Structure 1
Amino acid sequence: MVKHIWDSDRAAKLPKGVEELVYRSNLIGSDRTVCNWGGGNTSMKTTEKDFRGREIEVMWVKGSGSDLATMKTHNFTGLKLDDIRPLIKRDQMPDEEMVDYLSHCMIDSKHPRPSIETLLHAFLPYKHVDHTHPDAIISICCADNGKQIAEDIYGNRFVWVPYVRPGFTLSKMIAEGVANNPHAELVLMEKHGLVTWGETSETCYQKTISIIQEAEQYVNDRINQHEVFGGKRYQPLPEDKRKQILAGIMPVIRGAVSEEKKMILSYDDHDDVLEFVNSVQAPALSQIGAACPDHLVHTKRVPLYIDWNPETQDVHKLADLIKSGVETFTSEYQAYFTRNQQDGDQIFESAPRVILIPGIGMVNTGKSYAMSKVSGALYRRAIAVMKGATALGQFVSLHENESYHVEYWPLELYKLTLAPPEAEFSRKVALITGGAGGIG
């Protein structure tokens, strides 16, 4: 269960302003069941003095490409609210125009580019706003009967917003939905996440946590009453056997996924991973789609599921299935790109980021060990969401075209440009000899 960890004594010692927003953001980001790596955003509204000494209302919002768990004051962007608020009177605003407009609202050009969801925060009339992706909440938002479930939990206290890609339209829908419901305490974004608010940083944090706890209690009660993922199809192999097999197949996997660019691998056999990959429903459930738009760039729309029987088939058969599976995944991903591409789009690596193997666990790929671990961490969140959603109803996801337009969305891809350029030996593995000798 999500825990309330606000330290009132520590918070009281913080300077009023962005420091308290940093504290709240770090607390929220520290629990990955509340907020994905790199995902979610927070804001606060303050009064500042501009360069002429005039008092102006400023909204501080997470800058694009930062992570709530680790961000500091320099990762937030200040924007003049008087310049932003009139936008809500518009009927529409293309992404490119929105980004350009917001760049003129910044109080300091050295601040990072503001979050994709800046207008979501600006259009809500509350001093503090949190947007998160909690597992329990997304389980509801990705269930086919999610709106009815929300009514059971929250009554008339929520606003349900159908799926729309983040931007002007979604921000306006949220603001209007809240304005039209005097009882609203939260917004549930279909196939996406949660929005909460408060008049102080602490009350905003408390609301975020309490709303998630209500969802967790409801979802966990249903999970305990159901056979998870349709029950077991296979038993996980003993740990020593898993490691023995991995030693033989990891080079096979790395060779197969490195046809276009070299990839680094990591391995995960946490209990939740083993429960999923060995389940009856995993082959079909894993192919429905991503559990959250924020996952797509790092996990792709679906993982590669290797249909291997650990009880009757040997490691040589597994190696063959991996090679053919990666080849099929690559060709299908290229076809997916071709079906949906727009002018100027350039395809990413076609190889899978997530590989699920019954009896063994999950192997992840990335340009570095750290990024392969990010893909794995995000897919564990997807497993948690699917576990909750299937206990409530049927798991649903973005359809193919919706997924593509998030995965290849220029505003989402901009985050990737903020990463440092790849180093000379990126994507390579080095073996340093002599390390066991006196000189080494």
Structure 2
Amino acid sequence: MDLTELIKLSNDYGKNEDYVLAGGGNTSLKDDKEMYIKGSGTTLATITADGFVGMDRAKLNAMMTAGYPQGDTEREAASLADMMAARLPGFEEKRPSVETTLHNLFPFRLILHVHPALVNGLTCGQDGATVAEELLPGEFVWIPLSRPGYVLSLLCRKKLAEYKEKYGKEAQILLLQNHGIFVAADTREEIDTLMNHVMERLRSKLGRTPDFSEASCDTKKAESLKRELAALYSPNGKADLICNHEILSLVASKRAFAPLAAAFTPDHIVYCKAEFLYTESPDLMDVKFREFMDKNGYAPKVVCVKDFGAFILGDTDKEIATSKMLLLDAVKIAVYSESFGGPLHMTPELIDFITNWEMEAYRQKVNKE
């Protein structure tokens, strides 16, 4: 299959930070028998033909009616094994996207799945589903909060069938609560048209955008905190500081910090961990840091401090840069969600599931390499 069109679609959207950050999002191209989908751990901005995985659609179709175990661990292991077995000859060493079975559900050639902050302002909003129907009446399928992977594919299969029964046509826009958007079409031109339409409708509803203008803080104290946090993080730890007006507003008090107190989407868990450390007492940083680690079992990737902003921690410059992008994404979502009923975070149960999910652990591992 000629992947030129798929590569161009992937690179164009992947290089646009309004749509894709780090290794997020995925794309696919299919015919009746085969599907080529982004490999897990690859990056849309730079992906080439080698980054896609060829899949047997008949085997993927069979997965949707397979009798998998009910337990989470057993079900995910069995469905992952079948997904790996559905790889075409020559792709046995590559790992397909976790959302491969979901891509396969759409009867369209091209699929674009991305996590734009603007879209997630809606999908992570208390009134997201209601506002979506107001802005895009009859144009989309809304998927309520769900565990990812095979369970999500089953839910989407059901909702897509209900849409077809109701409207007499196939759905081309899928909005997933606390996750992102799928757009499906037979041509690149139609993908762009649909995506632009959604973004324009959402912009029409926005009350405000984030104020990322640079702010000031006690520079000498900030440098001291950076050194302390880097040492607390790990023997080779590094730290950076983001200090802008929006973040300073969000860290002004524990109440103001509430929009950032839990994860919005799986990407935030993968790249920034499930929770940030917040403190109004920087002089007690070592105590607060150890309390956080005792409670959560991991060191924070983001430490938010009143009057300073957000400190980003990691072992490498790449880790810090990626976490910084995802933190700013979370801030955007928090602000955008104000226009869609206020912030709605993932549930503690789902956060725990994703934190311990093998497929997301794989993405975390790749990000560190």
Contact 1:266 1:372 in 2 (8 A): yes
Deviations along 1:263-320, whole A, 9 cap, x unmatched?
A: 2212223454344334784332322x11111210221222111215xxxxxxxxx3x2
Equivalence for 2:38: 62
CA distance in 2, matches of 1:171, 1:136: 24
Task: Give the match for residue 320 of structure 2.
Answer: 372
Is 1:325 the counterpart of 2:288? The answer is: yes
CA distance in 2, matches of 1:132, 1:236: 28
Q: Deviations over 1:56-96 (max 9, x none)?
A: x2101010111111211111101111222233334657221
Structure 1 residues 225-263: Cα deviation after superposition (integer angstroms, max 9, x where no partner): xxx89xxxxx9863xx543332222212222223xx542
Q: 1:123, 1:172 within 8 Å by CA — same for their partners in 2? A: no
Residue equivalent to 1:346: none
- Give the aligned CA root-mean-square deviation in angstroms: 2.5
CA distance 1:87–1:373, shift in 2 (3 Å): same
1:43 and 1:79 map into 2 onto residues whose CA distance is 10
Kindly indicate whether residue 32 of structure 2 is the aligned counterpart of residue 17 of structure 1: no
In structure 2, distance between residues paired with 1:420 and 1:138: 25
2:346 is the alignment partner of 1:398: yes
Query: What CA distance in whole angstroms lies between the structure 2 residues aligned with 1:420 and 1:280?
Result: 31
Q: Which of 181, 184, 189 pairs up with 2:176?
A: 189
Give the letter for the 1:246 counterpart: A
Contact between 1:44 and 1:128, CA under 8 Å: does it hold in 2? yes
Q: Does residue 272 of structure 2 align to residue 299 of structure 1?
A: yes
Alignment of 1:245-284 (within 5 A): 245-258=221-234, 262-278=236-252, 281-284=255-258
TM-score normalized by the length of structure 2: 0.88
The aligned residue for residue 208 of structure 2 is: 223
Partner of 1:24, secondary structure, is helix
Match in the other structure for 1:95: 76
Distance 1:418 1:135, change over 3 A: closer
| 1:42 corresponds to | 27
Does 2:195 correspond to 1:213?
no
Match of 1:413 among 332, 343, 361: 361
CA distance in structure 1 between the partners assigned to 2:108 and 2:215 by the alignment: 52
Residue 406 of structure 1 aligns to which amino acid in structure 2?
I
Q: How has the CA–CA distance of structure 1 residues 401 and 20 changed in structure 2, closer, same or farther, with 3 Å as cutoff?
A: same
Partners of 2:339 and 2:254 in 1: CA distance: 14
Contact 1:18 1:73 in 2 (8 A): yes
Contact 1:59–1:122 (Cα < 8 Å) also in 2: yes
Residue 142 of structure 1: CA displacement?
Answer: 1.3
Q: Is the 8 A contact 2:354 2:360 kept in 1?
A: yes
What CA deviation, in whole Å up to 9, does each residue of 1:332-383 have, x standing for no partner?
A: 213xxxxxxxxxxxxxxx2110011233222111121210121111011001
Q: 1:77·1:111 contact (CA, 8 Å) conserved in 2?
A: no
Q: Distance in 1 between matches of 2:222 and 2:368?
A: 31
- For 1:20, give the aligned amino acid: E
Question: Number of aligned pairs?
Answer: 357
Aligned AA (2:107)? P
Which entry has the higher C-alpha Rg, 1 or 2?
1
Report the TM-score when normalising by structure 1.
0.75
CA distance in 1, matches of 2:364, 2:260: 25
1:360 aligned residue (308, 311, 318)? 308
Does residue 236 of structure 2 align to residue 285 of structure 1?
no
The residue type paired with residue 324 of structure 1 is V
Gaps of 5+ in 1: 1-15, 48-56, 230-234, 309-317, 335-349, 422-440
Please say which of residues 165-174 and 121-130 is displaced more in the overlay: 165-174
The equivalent of 1:385 in structure 2 is 333
Q: Secondary structure at the match of 1:205?
A: helix
SS of the counterpart of 1:223? coil
CA contact (8 A) 2:68 2:78 kept: no
Q: Confirm or deny: 8 A CA contact 2:279 2:306 kept in the other structure.
A: yes
Q: Which amino acid aligns with 1:306?
A: T
